[in-house]
């Protein structure tokens, strides 16, 4: 019996060692900021001496979440408000600390996933118009859209149209009545469509690098509809426990990234067409 126990203990130890030696599998969603943040994390992990398996541009929120739950990923960048409303299916609230606490508790309890400390910025949904049109129509806030909604052509990504904290809740909160259904398009097509005049209103992200590049204007969320979306990393609890260097690498990033800087870095990728790997190296060099 003792020999059997020792054999099982040794096998478990060897399995843990082999698991620790496996590359850290870093994923991302299919938009520039997510890819860039994942690349920053990957390089920070490599700086700690870890091997990394990059699995970038996987898809939307639910694809990445399923990959984490199934054990196919070890970490990926996410936003607290997205987890709160889309994954946990809770009604949006505006208290960042409460959202962060509930998300951390529920992820740990349900799936054994942990959240890294916040990176230092929020990336909330943002309604964006061409600057010239917004000034001509006197539209500064989302409420200002109401008298003009019937004449505007909206274009949104699939997630924004489907999520409760997206289009459906937005039109209720602001009593907006568009004459036509929003055009549904890939995220990468939103800014070209707005810039070329194919649509008049899009839902982007507040740190998108192309907002300034196309002369866009972000409309103020004057009724505070959108919940807080603090950026952080969702991490496998098992991986973090057996590989302490993962936590060290992510702690290096905690509170170090600002929204203003993130928009500038995103612009280097989206407008200047620089590889995310290069921009990530610059980000880490400046921390």
pLDDT of residue 159: 83
pLDDT of residue 11: 46
pLDDT of residue 9: 47
pLDDT of residue 18: 46
pLDDT of residue 3: 47
pLDDT of residue 107: 98
Q: Identify the structural domains of the chain with CATH numbers, from first to last.
A: 23-122+228-285 (3.40.190.10), 125-218 (3.40.190.120)
Compute CA distances 223 → 165, 196, 227, 284, whole Å.
13, 30, 11, 36
Q: Give the chain's length.
A: 287
Residue 50: other Cβ atoms inside 10 A: 19
Strands of the chain, DSSP E = 24-27, 52-55, 75-79, 113-115, 125-130, 154-156, 183-184, 201-205, 216-218, 231-236
pLDDT of residue 127: 97
pTM of the predicted model as reported, rounded to 2 decimal places: 0.79
pLDDT of residue 210: 92
Residue 103: other Cβ atoms inside 10 A: 25
Nearest of 175, 177, 168, 208 to residue 192 by alpha carbon: 208
pLDDT of residue 36: 98
3-state helix, strand, coil in the chain (%, to 5): 55, 15, 30
pLDDT of residue 88: 95
Please tell me the distance from the alpha carbon of residue 150 to that of residue 1, in angstroms, as a whole number: 78
pLDDT of residue 92: 82
What is residue 45's three-state secondary structure?
helix
Cβ proximity of 271 and 210 under 8 Å: yes
For the chain (287 residues), the mean pLDDT of every run of 10, in chain order, is 47 47 94 96 98 96 97 98 93 90 98 98 94 97 97 93 86 94 90 96 92 93 91 97 96 94 93 96 95
């Amino acid at each position: 019996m003792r020999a059997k126990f020792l054999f099982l203990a040794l096998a478990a130890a060897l399995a843990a060692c082999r698991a620790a030696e496996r590359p850290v599998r870093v994923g991302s969603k299919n938009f520039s900021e997510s890819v860039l943040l994942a690349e920053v994390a990957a390089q920070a992990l490599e700086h700690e001496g870890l091997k990394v398996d990059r699995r970038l541009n996987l898809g939307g929120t639910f694809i990445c979440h399923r990959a984490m739950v199934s054990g196919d990923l070890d970490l990926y960048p996410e936003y607290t408000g997205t987890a709160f409303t889309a994954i946990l299916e809770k009604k949006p609230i505006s208290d960042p600390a409460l959202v962060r606490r509930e998300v951390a508790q529920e992820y740990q309890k349900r799936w054994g996933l942990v959240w890294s400390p916040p990176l230092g910025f929020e990336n909330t949904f943002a309604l964006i118009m061409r600057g010239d049109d917004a000034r001509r129509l006197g539209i500064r806030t989302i409420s200002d859209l109401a008298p003009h909604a019937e004449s505007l052509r909206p274009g949104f990504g699939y997630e924004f149209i489907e999520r409760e904290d997206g289009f459906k809740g937005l039109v209720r909160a602001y009593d907006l009545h568009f004459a036509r259904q929003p055009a549904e398009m890939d995220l990468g097509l939103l800014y070209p469509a707005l810039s070329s005049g194919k649509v008049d209103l899009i839902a982007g992200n507040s740190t998108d690098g192309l907002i300034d590049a196309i002369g866009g204007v972000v409309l103020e969320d004057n009724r505070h509809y959108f919940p807080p979306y603090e950026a952080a990393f969702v991490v496998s609890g098992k991986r973090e426990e057996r590989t302490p260097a993962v936590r060290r690498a992510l702690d290096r990033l905690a509170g170090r990234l600002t929204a203003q800087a993130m928009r500038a870095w995103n612009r280097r990728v989206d407008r200047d067409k620089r590889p995310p790997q290069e921009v990530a190296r610059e980000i880490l060099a400046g921390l």
